[in-house]
Structure 1
């Protein structure tokens, strides 16, 4: 759901911004920051970029199919009207 590389990058930036004595806490602090961020991100009602792109493509195909069906229906209605008028 979330890009682990981006999460790693954010955790690294936070870690790098800390003073040297805090950096020495290293692994434990980085792990806790990562867990906190990941915990907060999972609470959000969001989708990954990949999921969004997939759904966008599905929507575009659905829209295209709907347009084609509307055109066919209009053609059939026109033909039906011509047959009833004759």
Structure 2
């Protein structure tokens, strides 16, 4: 889920930028700003930096494991090919 502090800060900045004539509607506007921002960010399906960093680490580990497995497969295929060629020469 998205950081609510960011939304709170954005709502505060928006409400502070209101013209003086709209100050009497400040609480209602803040409520509407918050609802709109939360809705927009929910539709964007954003992740936090922390979640991104965790997934980045998982991906790095997965790539390392994939490279290791690819090397093992290549070794086994090579070994199998050599074994077959030795048997066919007999």
Question: Which sections of structure 1, spanning at least 5 residues, go unmatched?
Answer: none
- 1:8 Cα deviation after fit: 1.0
Comparing 27-36 and 10-19, the one that deviates more: 27-36
Larger CA Rg, structure 1 vs 2: 2
SS of the aligned residue for 1:18 comes to: coil
Q: How big is each residue's C-alpha offset from its partner over 1:1-28, in whole Å with a ceiling of 9 and x where there is no partner?
A: 1111111111111111111232243322
RMSD: 1.8
What residue in structure 1 maps to residue 75 of structure 2? 75
Aligned residue pair count:
85
1:64 aligns with 2:64: yes
- Mapped partners of 2:24, 2:59: distance in 1: 50
What residue in structure 2 maps to residue 3 of structure 1? 3
Cα distance, 1:36–1:47 mapped onto 2, change above 3 Å: closer
- Mapped partners of 1:29, 1:73: distance in 2: 62
Runs of 4+ in 1 over 4 A off after TM superposition: none
Task: Provide the TM-score with structure 1 as the length reference.
Answer: 0.79
